[in-house]
């Protein structure tokens, strides 16, 4: 019997996850179906439970439900606990298991697909919402020389830096800095984890930030480069990338969590890029 999976969100119509998972399933010879389910804003839990009752095996969770998903799990992986959010649900033995694959997806894209080695590099993450939170612990685990977080509302960045503490002695503490403190500074890697690109805006950033040797990464993606990517290019960034690879890699990690098979992602990423 075909195992049923789905992505749940609101809105959901433009989700690329069904296409990505269909590619993975074809490639791996796995007999699964993968749908997109729109949950009313106040009926997330009810919609998930209906899917489980109908025999569903697992779900990806997207905006705005990642924290609600976290709250309804019976068990959480360590990385989901650190992220405070869940994007992958597995239904097994009457229990709901919560995991998050976003951080792993980002790291695999930056290191694996884009060939940028994070170890020993200085990193600045802008933004302190859910997207930023999920990336901090995985980035720290790659042993950067510095991991700095800055946000328009500084208190949120300070709170995240306090929440995510090093897991072993080799790892540095996360530094929360104000935009003023970072004026004219330089980093090897700059990650835009704000939601600014969603509204086609350029995020507020430290003044006069030096980008000429910086790899800049926007966690968002669109057919055309985002304003953040354009800004980085205009300021001489060494390399610029959007987050489409992260999307494909987090999906691959979810597929692995569910099916125990790690799909090949390069060809899927090329297809998704062409279809943008």
- Determine phi and psi for 96, rounding to 5 degrees: -110, 115
Q: Are 249 and 265 in contact (CB under 8 A)?
A: yes
Q: Is 180 among the residues that bind ligand ATR (CB under 6 A)?
A: no
Q: Is 161 among the residues that bind ligand ATR (CB under 6 A)?
A: no
Catalytic residue among 57, 66, 104, 121: 66
Q: Which of 130, 138, 243, 245 binds ligand ATR (CB under 6 A)?
A: 130
Please count the other Cβ atoms lying within 10 Å of the Cβ belonging to residue 184.
9
For residue 98, the cross-strand partners are: 76, 89
For the question of residue 66 being annotated catalytic, the response is yes
Q: How far is CA 10 from CA 26, 65, 269, in A?
A: 27, 8, 24
Q: Which of 86, 131, 248, 269 binds ligand ATR (CB under 6 A)?
A: 131
Q: Are 163 and 132 in contact (CB under 8 A)?
A: no
Q: Which residues contact 257 (CB under 8 A, 6 or more apart)?
A: 58, 88, 90, 99, 101
Q: Is 103 among the residues that bind ligand ATR (CB under 6 A)?
A: no
Of 106-114, 152-160, 219-227, 232-240, the window that binds ligand ATR (rule: CB under 6 A) is 152-160
Q: What is the C-alpha to C-alpha distance for residues 189 and 88, in angstroms, rounded to an integer?
A: 27
Q: Which is nearer to ligand ATR, 57 or 133 (CB)?
A: 133
Q: Which of 56, 127, 144, 206 binds ligand ATR (CB under 6 A)?
A: 127
Q: Which is nearer to ligand ATR, 131 or 182 (CB)?
A: 131
Of 136-144, 188-196, 226-234, 241-249, the window that binds ligand ATR (rule: CB under 6 A) is 188-196
Interface residues with ligand ATR (CB under 6 A)?
A: 127-131, 151-153, 156, 194-196, 201, 203-204
Q: Which residues are catalytic?
A: 66
């Amino acid at each position: 019997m075909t195992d049923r999976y789905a992505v749940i969100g609101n809105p959901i119509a433009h989700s690329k996850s069904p296409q990505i998972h269909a590619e993975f399933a074809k490639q791996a010879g796995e007999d699964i179906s993968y749908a997109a389910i729109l949950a009313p804003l106040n009926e997330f839990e009810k919609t998930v439970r209906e899917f489980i009752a109908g025999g569903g095996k697992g779900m990806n969770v997207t905006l705005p439900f990642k924290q609600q998903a976290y709250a309804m799990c019976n068990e959480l992986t360590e990385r989901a606990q650190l992220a405070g959010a869940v994007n992958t649900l597995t239904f097994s033995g009457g229990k709901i298991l919560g995991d998050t694959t976003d951080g792993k997806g980002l790291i695999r894209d930056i290191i694996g697909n884009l060939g940028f080695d994070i170890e020993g590099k200085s990193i600045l993450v802008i933004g302190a919402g859910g997207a930023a939170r999920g990336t901090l612990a995985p980035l720290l685990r790659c042993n950067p020389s510095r991991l700095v977080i800055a946000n328009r509302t500084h208190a949120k960045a300070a709170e995240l830096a306090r929440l995510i503490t090093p897991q072993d002695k080799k790892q540095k503490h996360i530094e929360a800095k104000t935009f003023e403190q970072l004026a004219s500074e330089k980093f090897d890697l700059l990650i835009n984890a704000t939601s600014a690109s969603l509204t086609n805006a350029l995020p507020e950033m430290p003044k006069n930030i030096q980008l000429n040797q910086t790899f800049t990464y926007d966690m968002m993606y669109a057919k055309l480069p985002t304003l953040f990517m354009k800004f980085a290019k205009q300021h001489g960034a060494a390399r610029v990338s959007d987050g489409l690879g992260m999307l494909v890699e987090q999906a691959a990690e979810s597929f692995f969590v569910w099916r125990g098979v790690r799909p090949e992602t390069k060809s899927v990423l090329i297809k998704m890029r062409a279809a943008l």
